[in-house]
Amino acid sequence: MKKLSSLLFGLLLCASAFGAGAVGKMQGTAVAVEATDDRLTVAAAKIGWTLAKAKGTAAKDRDLHVSADNRLFYACKMVAPIGSIPGGVAAIQTGPDTSKYTTLPSTYDATTTFQLHSRPGAARVLYLDFNGHTTPAGIWDTAAIVTPAFKLSGTTAASDQINLNAIRDIWLHVSEDFSPWDIDVTTEEPPITAKGQRCVIGGGVMDWLGVSGVMGVAHLSSFGGTINGSDDNNFVFLDNNYFSMRPNTANYEITILCVAHEVGHTLGLNHWGETALGTGQPYSVGHTVTGHPGVTSTCPIMGNSGLVGWPSACNLNQWSKGGFPFAYAQTFGGTQDDVAIISTFATKLTGARDDYGDTLATAAAVSGTSVTAGGIIADSTDVDLMKIRAGVGAISLIATPHLKYRNYNGNLKIGLSLLNSSGTVVAKSYLTTMLGNVLTYTIPTEGTYYIKVNGLGYDPSKTASAQTWTNTGITGTVAGTTAGFTNYGSLGRWGLTGSWKAPSNKPPVAVTSGSTPLTYAWTDPSKMVNFTGLLSTDSDGIIMTHEWNFNDLYPSTATGALASHRYNAPGIYHPVLTVTDDLGATGSATLTVTVTGTPVANTCSLATIDAEFIRVNSISDAASATIQVQDQYGNPLRSAVVSISVSGLVSAPATLVRTDVMGKVAISSPVFKRGARGTIRFDVSTVTSTTHTYVPADNDCPVFVTVTR
């Protein structure tokens, strides 16, 4: 099919359509509403839809298409709103480190720009592919599609710093959009086993689609496949040729929005539009928000971030379920719950994956008199609680929102509250000058308090101080109204700093016990003493740490309220538990463990011997060996002298080395050139000790070790 002429496209644009039955060069592609029932039945079944749902959605949205291989996909024009102007212009970190999202961003270079990760190790990956990509034939077209590396109009090369900064900013904001889920938004090519979505960003729509005005395309409900080079990627274009409103060095908000929008389609989302009582447009144009200088306009991500001055007017873009004026989803039923639908493809960070407890009992304990924290609000009901002890006097808290690129805010309006020990709110704050918040309060009585962070909505009919909180307890929030914005989409990252006065402090009381008999025979290999410090108490504070010193013949320690340890040699031992409270006071308790049995003669032997090659400098390598010596009971033996020689590729005569407190010695071979190949052998000829006799027959390992390359 020939490319549409500019005139024809303009006419079709007014009709909210791409063409009669096909999109550009993609032969066999049809606007979904014009496709046959047979084709729609096949396409719908591939994503679990009924024919009725497919037909109903297609009737509402002419950006929904059926590909030649009968798959539903979106080709998004992001139609300009009516009246729009084309080209419009010392503390403890108690949660995730959100500083790179809430403070000034770092400047990345041509290497680090492509190593950004929002949630390393997540179950799903969203790969923002700015490097250029070849989409194999058969995924989107009968021929392979070659997309060049990301390069904004007005720059000379993809590696220009302004392009690298743009990639950083796009990544930052798309990371915010998907922060409520277990998704790693990354600019680094993932392993071929990773599952999720590749979003290819760059190139021009005319290069292969053959139709101007399309800002991105995505197969519906395709998220979750393997990202292996032959994956079902979606596209976000830089040269859309739509009223010359292409991203440039001064304005790439549209790319930020479009990436999340197109990936939203792969996660099963349709468009948010408006009823005829509003503009009747297939993409919601957003609406102005009065009385909130920090948020002057808002729009659903699956709309187009509209208003006059598009695409830069709406500065708050959120996931939605219809809480805006004249909301109408371009779906079979006219409704859509964005967060719930996305959560069928990726795990939401709530419940067991929540970064903070939602109850007083599970609140994160903060030690000292200050806090530096960060976290994620993943759901409209998510509450992040921190437990503190404060004295009489001022408490000051500052909540920092996600970074803002030009006119593009983060998604979360942060709520700050202070609760007393019973969970009743004693102070709360709502600032309209920003998405962040500041809370100051004079604590009248020292004791336990809880800092609460959650998401808020906004009601323009009320002043900041008169915003309607649903209640004054743990779950209290401002739901907001459709004339402003609701707390449904108020999700994302927050940062927090704060300080308060120290209360008086009594030291904690350590209480220890062993859950197995504290007397046993050393010859019984099954005996392991299981210690518990759970009964330790702090009458006026919070126990922050439990530290165990088992007082062996060698240093042996553990941390945590529960610990296990085996004493190998007969004797009487006195393990000590030390507990520390939130203000640094300590308390200790001692147990007695008796290990019975007849002592045996003092002997020693080799426990382990290992070796590896090591790098010495830019031109030289060496080999290194580690040997551990044990006594007759299997305990590490300190101060034994080991005789070790080196032979093979390089050699060295026997060297005497004394074991450390853990019974270990380490020795390196002479250095050799990096390119040298061969075998190096370390031999232990003897072990001597002033207290123990070396018995080679008791060795648990050979008396030599070799490494070869």
Q: What is the CATH number of the domain that holds 611?
A: 2.60.40
Same domain, 630 and 582: no
**Token match 């700093």: residue?**
497
Give tens-digit pLDDT for 415-427.
Answer: 999 999 999 999 9
* The predicted structure's pLDDT at residue 244: 53
Domain coverage including residue 494: 351-499
Instruction: Decide if pLDDT at 179 tops 80.
Output: yes
User: Does this model's pTM top 0.85?
Assistant: no
Q: Comparing 648 with 331, which gets the higher pLDDT?
A: 648
8 A C-beta contact, residue 511 and residue 587: no
* The predicted structure's pLDDT at residue 315: 85
- Cα 453 from Cα 412, distance rounded (Å): 11
Identify whether 226 is part of a domain. yes
Same domain, 397 and 494: yes
* The predicted structure's pLDDT at residue 584: 87
Identify whether 407 is part of a domain. yes
195-201 and 124-129 beta bridge pairing: parallel
Residue 668 three-state SS: strand
Structure tokens, 197: 């979505």
Residue 495 three-state SS: strand
Q: Where are the beta strands (DSSP E) in 94-201?
A: 124-129, 133-135, 145-147, 183-186, 195-201
Structure tokens, 673: 């050139």
Q: What is the CATH number of the domain that holds 539?
A: 2.60.40.10
Identify whether 51 is part of a domain. no
* The predicted structure's pLDDT at residue 306: 57
* The predicted structure's pLDDT at residue 79: 52
8 A C-beta contact, residue 23 and residue 211: yes
Same domain, 337 and 377: no
Residue 685 three-state SS: strand
Three-state DSSP string of 513-530: EECCCCEEECCCCCCCEE
Sheet of strand 492-499, all strands in order from the earlier edge strand to the far edge: 370-377, 492-499, 393-400, 437-443
* The predicted structure's pLDDT at residue 655: 94
Residue 245 three-state SS: coil
Element (H, E) at 614: strand 603-615
- Cα 77 from Cα 330, distance rounded (Å): 14
Structure tokens, 530: 């299981």
- Cα 271 from Cα 327, distance rounded (Å): 11
Of 596, 615, 650, at which residue does a domain stop? 596
Same domain, 105 and 251: yes
* Mean pLDDT across 342-370: 93
**Residue 482's pLDDT band (cuts 50, 70, 90):** confident
Identify whether 38 is part of a domain. no
> What percent of the chain lies above the pLDDT cut of 70?
91
Same domain, 356 and 290: no
Q: Which of 14-23, 72-81, 123-132, 359-368 has the highest mean pLDDT?
A: 123-132
Same domain, 152 and 96: yes
- Integer-rounded Cα Rg, in Å, for the chain is 33
* The predicted structure's pLDDT at residue 5: 26
What angle is formed at CA 142 by the lines to CA 207 and CA 7, rounded to 5 degrees?
A: 40
Same domain, 582 and 624: no
* The predicted structure's pLDDT at residue 607: 96
Structure tokens, 187: 């600019």
- Cα 146 from Cα 133, distance rounded (Å): 6
* The predicted structure's pLDDT at residue 22: 40
Same domain, 392 and 446: yes
Same domain, 526 and 476: no
Same domain, 359 and 266: no
Identify whether 454 is part of a domain. yes
Same domain, 300 and 160: yes
Identify whether 124 is part of a domain. yes
Residue 352 three-state SS: helix
Q: Where are the beta strands (DSSP E) in 123-174?
A: 124-129, 133-135, 145-147
Identify whether 42 is part of a domain. no
* Mean pLDDT across 576-597: 92
* The predicted structure's pLDDT at residue 86: 35
* Tally of structural domains, the chain: 4
Of 540, 573, 596, at which residue does a domain stop? 596
- With b for 16 or more beta-carbon neighbours within 10 A and e for fewer, the 192-201 pattern comes to eebebbbbbb
Q: Where are the beta strands (DSSP E) in 649-702?
A: 652-658, 664-668, 672-673, 679-688, 693-694
Same domain, 309 and 170: yes
Give tens-digit pLDDT for 500-550.
Answer: 999 998 899 999 876 666 888 888 877 888 899 999 999 888 898 999 999
Structure tokens, 379: 């759901």
Structure tokens, 364: 């994160």
Of 499, 531, 563, at which residue does a domain stop? 499
* The predicted structure's pLDDT at residue 390: 94
**Residue 698's pLDDT band (cuts 50, 70, 90):** very high
Q: Side chain identity at 531, as an amino acid letter?
A: F
Residues whose CB is less than 8 angstroms from the CB of residue 224 and which lie 6 or more positions away in sequence, other chains included: 124, 195, 196, 197, 345
Give tens-digit pLDDT for 275-333.
Answer: 877 777 788 888 899 999 999 999 999 987 655 555 566 889 999 999 888 898 988 78
* The predicted structure's pLDDT at residue 25: 54
Identify whether 44 is part of a domain. no
What does the mean pLDDT of the chain come to? 87
- How many CB atoms lie under 10 A from the CB of residue 353? 13
Lowest-pLDDT range of 86-100, 244-258, 474-488, 602-616 = 86-100
- Cα 693 from Cα 631, distance rounded (Å): 9
Question: For residue 508, is the peptide bond before it cis, meaning its omega torsion is within 30 degrees of 0?
Answer: no
Element (H, E) at 372: strand 370-377
Q: What is the CATH number of the domain that holds 431?
A: 2.60.120.380
* The predicted structure's pLDDT at residue 305: 61
Instruction: Decide if pLDDT at 33 tops 50.
Output: yes
* The predicted structure's pLDDT at residue 309: 58
